Structures are given as structure tokens and as C-alpha cells.
């Protein structure tokens, strides 16, 4: 049966930055063949897949979001950009929706050529011949590694005809990761909006919380706020943790009831146009911090603010980690939860009983974004365009040597901070001073 093609979906990203990144990477790599697949579809149960999420590095370079796609660039003085993707299939499109097909994809996403994904085995060995070096993913996906091996064998089987097989297969993820570390203006605009939506969602959660509700009811407030602004997914599994659950760092159950006197820790951010926000706020379920909760909260806030002040271009990314440890350790000494001198508590690692994670990470297309933290044994220096999370916390589990009034208090405060030429811009606008949180919850 003949069918008319569906119209191209309205959401296609601005291709210009993706195209420019591809050109920049090609220039940097100089020679050889770049081969980069998107992610694989993964079965969830029976015949249902997990919702497909394209590979971030692949998306960064292409803007293309369909599964079963491979980017190839024949490097050299005039690089040739090629996309392999699914064929048009008007019958399948009735069931699953629009797919570009090679011809429309080449046109829309500015490739020099595009071919059916079914032609990989026929075409890749030809592209590999005489390429010298293959820049690809190595050791990320076993099936992809096998494909590379299969294609290499195919080229090696043809050397008697006068072609030369590649002599080097190298991992290209670091090159792409280092590019991703510095966000361009289009990325910063999206990340600001992802943060605005997520900040609103956190404030909505604070307003909605009260004893008697369940963690999932607060999660629903967050998700509704994300989705109604067009951010259809959280960037990672939302942590919505009341009471003792706040001390479980990657808590995901989100089922417990909210009890009077509980603190609630929410670590949640939306994914907007493939970019993550990553925000944590901690607030009292009934709108008023108890004395010990407030004491712990103010130490974490002081640490967080000190970390943000320590961020600026040229300083090492390791420095704000040290600042977090110093301020939190002093706070633990002041609360008599740790004993001894500040240097002693830091050197012995005694603070780690209450603070056992890092102060933050790169943020971008992935919540724990790509990019080196250390090079040659030295922490990377901050530069304009980098985005880091700043997320110190204290988690006090019941223990014989810990006064009972502190038991089950878990506090983390997390903002997303852009490094600018003049210093920093905090992308996160959600309230965070204890008084402001209480005022918002009263209102
Ligand atoms: N939400 C994950 C993290 O804060 O690293
Ligand atoms: Mn987080
Ligand atoms: Mn984080």
C-alpha cells in the first residue's frame, strides 16, 4: 500500500552548533576515520524497551536522536561527514512515529552523505581501508568492539588487493569529553532553562510537603513541574527522601510517609533538550527546622557558599573539594561530633563518617558529565564555560557515640554553577537559606 510520508517533527535542534563541533573535532583529529555509534536500545521487560536515550557524545556532534545510528567522518583536509541511520519505513512510522531515513537526515542534519544502517558491514571496511587510524569507542560497548574487530578483519582480508589496513584503533571519547567540558552559548542557555524549571519544581515540592503525605506524592509535584515545561524526563532517578532515608545517598524507593519533625532531602533535576540540571534541597516537612537540624543545615550551607566562593577561572577543581572538607570538618568539631584539631580530623578522615562523597562534578549532557578531572596527576584548572555542581552534605546515622538529637539528620545542598570570565554564575535560583525556606513554606 502506498502511504504519504509523515511531516518532519517540529522539534529539531538548531543544527549549527552540532555541525560546528563536528568540524572542530575533525580538524583536531586531522587524519584517519572517526566512527561513533549512538546508544543501544535496551529491553525493560517482555516486549517493552526502556525509553531510548541517545548517546550524549553522539548527540553533541550530530543533534540526531534516533536509535540505530552511526557517525562516520573521513578525516583529512576536506573531511567528509557521513551518517548511517534507519531507513524510512512508512509502515513502521504508523506505529512508532516519524523516522528521517538517510536522505532527509543528510539534508536536515547537514551531512555530506547518509546511508542505511543496514549497509554498515558493506561500507565501513571500505572507509577503513587506507585510513591509518580509526578513532572510535574502545571498551565501552562489547558489541561495538566486536563490530570494529569484524570490520578490521574484513579490511585485512583485502590487503593483497593493494589496500592498507588500519594500524591504530584509538578511543576518541576523551577528545569529545574535553570539548564537552566547555559549554557554548547555546548549551548555557538550555542549561539555564533546565535549572529554572528544576528550581521551580523544588520550590513547588517545598510548598506541597506536609506530614501525612508520601515521598511519591512530592515526587509527583516535581515531575509535573518538569513535564509541563517540556522537560519530559528527570535527568537521573529523583531522590525524594524523608527522615532517615535522607542518609541513604542514592535513595530511590520514594515510598515512605512524611512524619512531623522529619527533614526531607530532594535531589532532582530535569533533562531539557538533552541537558541535565542537578539540584538538591533539604527542608523540614512541617515547615520549621528543629534546633539540631538547623545547626547541621547551617554548617552545610556555610560549606556550600564557601565552595562557590572558591570557584573561579584558573583555580584547580580540587580546591573546592578541600574547602568543603575544611568547613564541614570544623562544623563537626563545633557540634562535638568529631574530636580533635581541624587538621587532625581532616588527616585522619574522621569527617568521612558524616561526609563520604565528593563536593561536585561536571554537569552537561550527562549528569556526571564527560571531561577530565586530573591531567598528569594534577587537578584540572577551571575555565569559563565549565559547569560544576557544588554539593556538600552531612549524613548522621544513629550510633552510640552520636547524641540522639542528631540521629537521622541528612542534609545536602546542591547548586549548578557556571564558570565565567569574571568568576561564576549560579544557574540555580531555588531558595536555600533556612529562613527563606521556612518563609516560603509558611506562605
Ligand atoms: N544527583 C546525582 C548527583 O548529585 O551526583
Ligand atoms: Mn544531585
Ligand atoms: Mn550532583
Strands (E), 64-117: 70-74, 80-85, 113-116
205: pLDDT strictly greater than 80: yes
Is 172 in the same domain as 296? Answer: no
Cβ-based neighbour number of residue 331 at 10 Å? 23
Domain final residue pick, 180, 195, 225: 180
Eight-class DSSP state of 76: S
Instruction: Please tell me if the CB atom of residue 391 comes closer than 6 angstroms to any atom of ligand 1.
Output: yes
Q: For atom 3 of ligand 1, which residue has the closest CA?
A: 278
Q: Which of 350, 385, 387, 349 is nearest to 367 (CA)?
A: 387
Query: Which residue among 195, 236, 412 has the greatest number of ligand 1 atoms within 8 angstroms of its CB, and so is best to mutate?
Result: 236
One domain for residues 337 and 391: yes
| pLDDT(395) > 90 | yes
Q: Which of 128, 161, 180 is the endpoint of a domain?
A: 180
Residues 401 and 426 in one domain: yes
**Whether residue 431 sits in one domain with residue 350:** yes
Summarize pLDDT for 284-326 with one digit per residue, the tens: 999 999 999 999 999 999 999 999 999 999 999 999 999 999 9
Sequence-distant (≥ 6) Cβ neighbours of residue 80 within 8 angstroms? 73, 74, 112, 113
Residue 12: the pLDDT is 76
Question: Does residue 294 share a domain with residue 193?
Answer: yes
Catalytic residue among 21, 135, 412, 415: 412
What's the mean per-residue pLDDT of the chain? 96
Domain boundary (120, 154, 180) is at 180
What is the pLDDT at residue 1?
44
Instruction: List the domain range (segments joined by +) for residue 166.
Output: 15-180
CATH number of the domain within which 107 lies: 3.40.350.10
Counting Cα atoms < 13 Å in the Cβ hemisphere of 353 gives 15
* pLDDT the model gives residue 356: 98
Atom of ligand 1 lying closest to residue 361 CA = 5
How far is Cα 129 from Cα 164, in angstroms, rounded to an integer? Answer: 6
Question: Which set of grid coordinates corresponds to residue 272?
Answer: 531539557
In a domain, 6, yes or no: no
Rounded to 5 degrees, φ, ψ at 374 are: -130, 145
414: burial class by Cβ within 10 Å (0-12, 13-18, 19+)?
buried
* Ligand 1 atom with the shortest distance to the CA of 360: 5
On whether the CB atoms of residues 241 and 268 are closer than 8 A, the answer is no
Rounded to the nearest 5 percent, the helix, strand and coil shares of the chain are: 40, 20, 40
Are 204 and 84 part of one and the same domain?
Answer: no
Residue 188 belongs to a domain: yes
Distance 55 CA to ligand 2 centre (A): 21
pLDDT tens digit string along 239-262? 999 999 999 999 999 999 999 999
* pLDDT tens, position by position, 339-367: 999 999 999 999 999 999 999 999 999 99
pLDDT, position 13: 79
Q: How many structural domains does the chain have?
A: 2
340: CATH? 3.90.230.10
Amino acid at each position: 500500500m502506498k502511504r504519504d510520508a509523515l511531516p518532519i517533527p517540529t522539534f529539531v535542534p538548531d543544527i549549527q552548533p552540532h555541525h560546528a563541533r563536528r568540524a572542530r573535532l575533525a580538524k583536531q583529529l586531522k587524519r584517519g576515520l572517526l566512527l561513533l555509534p549512538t546508544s543501544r536500545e535496551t529491553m525493560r521487560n517482555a516486549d517493552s524497551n526502556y525509553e531510548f536515550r541517545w548517546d550524549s557524545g553522539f548527540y553533541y556532534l550530530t543533534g540526531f536522536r534516533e536509535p540505530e545510528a552511526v557517525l562516520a567522518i573521513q578525516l583529512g583536509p576536506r573531511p567528509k561527514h557521513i551518517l548511517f541511520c534507519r531507513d524510512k519505513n512508512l509502515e513502521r512510522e504508523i506505529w512508532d512515529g516519524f523516522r528521517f531515513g538517510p536522505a532527509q537526515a543528510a539534508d536536515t542534519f547537514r551531512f555530506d552523505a547518509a546511508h542505511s544502517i543496514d549497509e554498515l558491514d558493506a561500507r565501513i571496511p571500505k572507509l577503513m581501508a587506507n585510513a591509518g587510524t580509526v578513532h572510535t569507542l574502545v571498551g565501552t560497548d562489547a558489541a561495538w568492539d566486536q563490530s570494529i574487530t569484524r570490520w578490521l578483519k574484513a579490511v585485512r582480508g583485502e590487503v593483497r588487493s593493494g589496500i592498507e589496513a588500519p594500524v591504530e584503533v584509538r578511543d576518541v571519547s576523551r577528545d569529545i569529553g574535553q570539548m564537552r567540558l566547555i559549554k557554548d552559548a547555546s548549551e548555557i542557555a538550555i542549561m539555564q532553562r533546565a535549572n529554572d524549571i528544576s528550581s521551580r519544581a523544588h520550590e513547588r515540592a517545598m510548598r506541597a510537603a506536609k506530614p501525612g503525605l508520601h515521598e511519591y506524592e512530592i515526587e509527583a509535584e516535581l515531575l509535573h513541574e518538569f513535564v509541563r515545561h517540556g522537560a519530559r524526563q528527570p535527568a537521573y532517578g529523583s531522590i525524594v527522601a524523608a527522615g532517615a532515608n535522607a542518609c541513604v545517598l542514592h535513595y530511590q524507593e520514594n515510598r515512605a510517609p512524611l512524619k512531623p519533625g522529619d527533614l526531607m532531602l530532594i535531589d532532582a533535576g530535569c533533562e531539557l533538550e538533552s541537558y541535565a540540571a542537578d539540584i538538591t534541597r533539604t527542608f523540614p516537612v512541617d515547615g520549621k527546622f528543629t534546633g539540631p537540624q538547623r545547626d547541621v543545615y547551617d554548617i552545610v550551607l556555610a560549606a556550600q557558599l564557601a565552595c562557590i566562593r572558591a570557584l573561579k577561572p584558573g583555580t584547580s577543581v580540587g580546591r573546592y573539594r578541600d574547602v568543603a572538607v575544611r568547613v564541614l570538618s570544623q562544623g563537626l568539631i563545633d557540634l562535638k561530633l568529631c574530636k580533635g584539631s581541624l587538621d587532625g580530623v581532616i588527616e585522619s578522615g574522621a569527617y568521612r563518617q558524616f561526609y563520604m562523597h565528593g563536593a561536585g562534578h561536571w554537569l552537561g549532557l550527562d549528569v556526571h558529565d564527560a571531561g577530565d578531572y586530573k591531567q598528569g596527576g594534577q587537578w584540572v584548572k577551571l575555565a569559563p564555560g565549565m559547569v560544576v555542581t557544588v554539593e556538600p552534605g552531612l549524613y548522621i546515622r544513629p550510633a552510640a557515640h552520636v547524641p540522639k538529637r542528631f540521629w537521622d539528620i541528612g542534609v545536602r545542598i546542591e547548586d549548578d554553577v557556571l564558570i565565567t570570565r569574571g568568576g561564576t554564575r549560579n544557574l540555580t535560583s531555588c531558595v536555600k537559606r533556612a529562613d527563606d525556606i521556612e518563609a516560603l513554606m509558611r506562605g
